[in-house]
Structure 1
């Protein structure tokens, strides 16, 4: 196996300390932002089903006293999560049906996705895997053995996607071990990491992470997840700069969310700010219809109108692809044909 990082040490990385300091109680989050206490009372049922989890640095970017803050709306449980709709499900994109080997999702030609952990730094209230059975369906079991056997046995695969949860919640020695094993599989060319940690916890982009990303044989791609320009402060800019300097290609995927980023102005600001940070807008996802997130849905007709307006306001390279993921489909479904200019 190609080794790409040192073995674990006793020193705790700074990012893990910051992660442990995060808010875990909606009442504490509400109090920290000077919101009326009734917001905490309304949060309890949602918190009981899908616990509150948010780093303090991310909360510091929110506007105190404003319950409509676009960053807060993504992480604060609401009574609206109790609404039920027959079109919203616990497995909205068919993950379980696409998993032959535990923790390996093989939906699309040429690439497979590994569920490497169920842990995240932040529990986004619209998360499409908020009901996923991580305990029984992750790729880390038996030292990655079954997952690696699956990947090695399929020569049509050229790209592996690390997902979760958030893969960067794992310590670097574990990720380096996995990256080394994947690098030893000759038909693989690229390693893609889907992560929100550099956005909500930019301390995660440290030397240990950069070492194994840069040292491996596979071309590294990091797909970030930012939904609003206010998420992208100077600390995130520095983290993105370090990733770029290590030779990592940076893309962003956002989710279109009611009350968060469902305006042309907010989407334009997000794309412009991402490009300032050296990140290309990649996807703007129509909300995956997961149970508990009905209040975030932007109707598809509105989404198409918004996306069409973006093509008139932005150069083509700053317009993310508006797309929907349908369970069992061979690819994501584009919802508008861009008019690049």
Structure 2
């Protein structure tokens, strides 16, 4: 295994940052790029939750199709402003698990570190679209407080990097954080949850892959992919490089109305993921976040879809169907036989 130096790391171009800089931030510009008439869609041109869509992701969308499943995930609509009973600002009650700025600790043995407040894409269904990121930013000078929290709790064996999106930090900053985490003896695993490589495949840099390969921590990258069309040939080599570096690649999806709520779409997604070396991990029932009720699907439909996946796919390509319920100490498996939900010790 070759050790990569900081000098070598600086040579690799940060193409992903260039792509982020030229992302679409106005719905009219995105629709023009897609050859769509804004009158066809009830867009919110000044949404409270801003639009952000990287161009590589937009290039995966079908032109002149207002029902494209990728477009539906990122285009702000006026109906987001409609209040709907039961849909709240904090559907998972994360504020009660916000142990200190930048830390959410609600599961046994695992702690979630919010390293970044921003994302490379603003998904309209995001359950953290109202999260108080301003109160949870961790400046470099505050990082020792986070490390102290981990050091003082030997029960914690896994650090989960989240956000926002942790891969919004550059490779050098992430390497510094990794140095510190590796120095905590009771930590054994590192998990990175990110959608950034999905929307900007250039983020799968060789520099970061090689740094993670050198780590003593077992590393898992969990991607957030909801539709097979989100995977392009541009992802293939990057994902292979990270897999060859010893990382486990998993995917979690959210069941979204009009995006992936039919069996062929979900089956194609699992097949496509495996073709790219990624295992399906979770299929999440929708979190009832305010502003996104139009994405929700009924639980009995989720059960039916999951049953059809089980009937048509090998078991290793069937993700666990789960729901996260505020206050519970684990994910909740949706029981397909009885229609009941049972605890599942996962995150």
Fold equivalence (TM over 0.5): yes
Q: Distance in 1 between matches of 2:231 and 2:11?
A: 32
Q: Number of residues paired by the alignment? A: 334
**Cα separation, 1, equivalents of 2:333 and 2:4:** 37
The residue that corresponds to 2:210 in the other structure is 211
Q: Structure 2 regions of 5+ residues with no counterpart?
A: 338-347
1:113 Cα deviation from its structure 2 partner = 0.3
Deviations 1:150-177 (A, max 9, x none): 1111111110100001100111111111
Matched with 1:290 is 289
* TM-superposition CA deviations, 1:255-279 (whole Å, max 9, x none): 0000000000000000000011111
Describe the SS at the equivalent of 1:147.
helix
For the Cα contact (< 8 Å) 2:120–2:165, is it kept in 1? yes
SS in 2 for 1:154: coil
Partner of 1:144: helix, strand, or coil? helix
Work out the CA distance in 2 between the residues paired with 1:10 and 1:143: 29
SS in 2 for 1:334: strand
Equivalent runs, 1:63-212 vs 2, <5 Å: 63-140=62-139, 142-212=141-211
Matched ranges for 1:224-303 at <5 A:
224-303=223-302
Cα separation, 2, equivalents of 1:196 and 1:23: 17
Aligned mates of 1:232, 1:90 — CA distance in 2: 31
**SS, match of residue 253 in structure 1:** strand
The Cα of 1:309 is off from its aligned counterpart by: 1.4
**Which segments of structure 1 move beyond 6 Å, counting only runs of 4 or more?**
none
SS of residue in 2 equivalent to 1:113: strand
Judge conservation of contact 2:31–2:38 (CA < 8 Å) in 1: yes
TM-score w.r.t. the length of structure 1 is 0.94
Structure 1 stretches lacking a partner, 5+ long: none
C-alpha distance in structure 2 between counterparts of 1:227 and 1:165, whole Å: 18
How far apart are the structure 1 equivalents of 2:185 and 2:39?
A: 57
- Checking the alignment, whether the CA contact within 8 Å between 1:191 and 1:220 is kept in structure 2 is yes
In the alignment, the residues of structure 2 paired with residue 151 and residue 337 of structure 1 have an alpha-carbon distance, to the nearest angstrom, of 37
1:6 aligns with 2:6: yes
Kindly state the Cα deviation for residue 11 of structure 1 after the two structures are TM-superposed.
Answer: 8.0
Residue of structure 2 in register with 1:28 after alignment = 29
Q: Return the alpha-carbon distance in structure 2 between the equivalents of residues 161 and 337 of structure 1.
A: 29
Q: Distance in 2 between matches of 1:165 and 1:219?
A: 22
Shift of residue 327, structure 1, vs aligned partner: 1.0
The verdict on how the C-alpha distance between 1:4 and 1:112 changes in structure 2, with shifts beyond 3 A counting, is: farther
* 8 A Cα contact 2:110 2:158, kept in partner: yes
Deviation at 1:139, TM superposition (A): 3.8
Structure 1 counterpart of 2:57: 58
Preserved contact between residue 42 and residue 78 of structure 2 (Cα < 8 Å): no
How far the C-alpha of 1:138 sits from its partner, in A, is 3.1
**What is the deviation of 1:78?**
1.0
Q: CA deviation at 1:143?
A: 4.2
Q: 1:40, CA displacement in angstroms?
A: 6.6
Cα pair distance change 1:133/1:12, threshold 3 Å: farther
Query: Aligned partners of 1:337, 1:305: CA distance in 2, in Å?
Result: 8
Partner of 1:325: 324
Q: How far did residue 141 of structure 1 move?
A: 5.1
Q: CA RMSD in A?
A: 1.8
- Contact kept? 1:323, 1:335, Cα under 8 Å: yes
Given the superposition, is the C-alpha separation of residues 71 and 11 from structure 1 closer, same or farther in structure 2, using an over 3 Å criterion?
same
Higher RCO (CA-CA < 8 Å; seq separation 6+): 1
CA contact (8 A) 1:101 1:146 kept: no
* Alpha carbons 1:14, 1:203 under 8 Å: kept: yes
